[in-house]
Amino acid sequence: MNLADEYCLRPGANLSSALASRNNPLDVFERLCVGEHYEYERINPKELHVSLPGLWCHHDLIITWDKTSESISLYLAFDGRSPGGRSDDICRLMSLINERLTHGHFDYWDKNSALVYRHSHSLKGGAKLLTEQAQDLIAQALDAAERGYPACQYVIWAGKSPEDALTSALVDLAANP
């Protein structure tokens, strides 16, 4: 017998806690974070924050679970540098990037001056999230961020046009396989 057993430090398994655990897809993401050595924090049963390493910076991904609508939402916001009056160019850039994305999309939230990648995944009808699906959702968010982040930096800091910024960012990505 070990100390945990002796002092009853282990939570007792009951049916409702086991079912709640099995029905929360954030548990799949959390196990994936452990396996991939991602830094993460489980804020509450409905929200998980993950730090993803990228080529240009670490990306902060927020994953939420809405049990009522049975959907997972992913939000990846770029760091809060203000576009400095270039919001029209940023919106044009987001449109150009969105044309190339097969999943999710970018938004510019003027209220917060935030550039955000958003994606939702439905699990209607009690569908279970597979590990491969969770990996794919994270990979899609990271791929979008790796395209969008340098392009935004080129617009904001280098003063490039949205078209030139996207071309430069894609060239940079091709040079870093």
Q: What pLDDT does residue 146 have?
A: 84
Q: Could you tell me the CA-to-CA distances from 155 to 61, 99, 104, 116 in Å, in that order?
A: 23, 18, 22, 16
Q: How far apart are CA 151 and CA 172, in angstroms?
A: 10
Q: How big is the CA angle at 99 (ends 98 and 103), to the nearest 5 degrees? A: 60
β-sheet bridge partners, residue 109: 114
Q: What pLDDT does residue 84 have?
A: 65
What does pTM read for this prediction? Answer: 0.79
Q: What pLDDT does residue 136 have?
A: 94
Domains, the chain, ordered by start: 10-175 (3.30.1460.70)
Q: What pLDDT does residue 65 have?
A: 97
Count of C-beta atoms within a 10 Å radius of residue 28: 19
In 3D space, the residue among 76, 72, 86 whose CA is nearest the CA of residue 147 turns out to be 76
Q: How far apart are CA 157 and CA 139, in angstroms?
A: 27
* Residuewise pLDDT in 10s, the chain (177 residues): 443 444 444 444 444 444 444 579 999 999 999 999 999 999 999 999 999 988 878 899 999 999 999 999 999 987 655 556 677 888 898 899 898 888 999 987 777 777 889 999 999 998 999 999 999 999 999 988 888 888 888 888 888 898 898 888 776 555 555
Q: How far apart are CA 177 and CA 175, in angstroms?
A: 6
